[in-house]
Structure 1
Amino acid sequence: MKLLLDENLSRRIVPFILDRYPGSTQVALLGLEQANDKSIRQYAIDHDYVIVTQDADFYELSLIYGQPPKIVWLKVGNQTKAAMIKTLLDNQPIIEQALFADDKTCIEIY
């Protein structure tokens, strides 16, 4: 499962999650930091990414357009880079179960 971290998540997280989420990246690393949410959504679809975000924008787009892409909505507030890494790594089995085994569009992590 490849993650595409939204601009509201640090690109410095990426190297620490690659063992569990190979091929993951962040929008700024792709030159998409000025792109609108629809463009980022389309990029995720075209390149088979799961979007990870801290806001409702991608969830709202999924209500209009459906899936793909699948979404991990982190509702954990502002946290340190280390805490975000821990959240993504600790919840990897739950994320995978919800999005792929259970075919959910979005999983919210608190």
Structure 2
Amino acid sequence: MRFLVDAQLPPALARMLSARGHLAEHVTDIGPADSPDRDLWLYALDHKAVLITKDEDFSSMLVFGGEAPIVVWIRVGNTSRRALIEWFEPLVDRVVEMIEAGNDFVELR
């Protein structure tokens, strides 16, 4: 599966996903970290990438309808990079299963 990791999340998250056999990019791999949300949205659509974000704006953008990428919204508070990766890694297979089952929005708390 292909993933695009948003700027609020560490590049290490994309590296962990790559190590698990997925194609994963961090926003900084494709352009500036402060790229507008709309640009990331369109990139994810064009590349059929699942957008992983902590940004509530992307979940709000889904409300408007139309063509949209699959969004994984991580809703954990501020944490260290290591703690975030340790929390997220055991969830990867379940997230993939949910997406493959047809979910276009996955919220993780």
State the TM-score, normalizing by the size of structure 2.
Answer: 0.87
Residue 23 of structure 1 is matched in structure 2 by 23
Residue 85 of structure 1 is matched in structure 2 by 85
Residue 58 of structure 2 is matched in structure 1 by 58
Letter in structure 2 aligned against 1:4: L
Structure 1 ranges of 4+ moved more than 6 A: none
Matched, 1:107 2:99: no
Cα distance change, pair 13–97 in 1 and its aligned pair in 2 (3 A): closer
Letter in structure 1 aligned against 2:108: I
State the TM-score, normalizing by the size of structure 1.
Answer: 0.86
- How many angstroms apart in 1 are the aligned matches of 2:13 and 2:68? 24
Unaligned runs of at least 5 residues, structure 2: none
- How many angstroms apart in 1 are the aligned matches of 2:37 and 2:21? 22
- How many angstroms apart in 1 are the aligned matches of 2:103 and 2:50? 12
Shift of 1:18: 1.0
Equivalent position SS for 1:18: helix
- How many angstroms apart in 1 are the aligned matches of 2:35 and 2:78? 23
- RMSD value over aligned CA atoms? 1.7
Residue-by-residue CA offset, 1:20-57 (whole Å, 9 max, x unaligned): 25210111121142321111100001111101111211
User: Once the two structures are aligned, what percentage of the paired residues are identical?
Assistant: 26
Matched, 1:33 2:19: no
Unaligned runs of at least 5 residues, structure 1: none
Shift of 1:88: 2.6
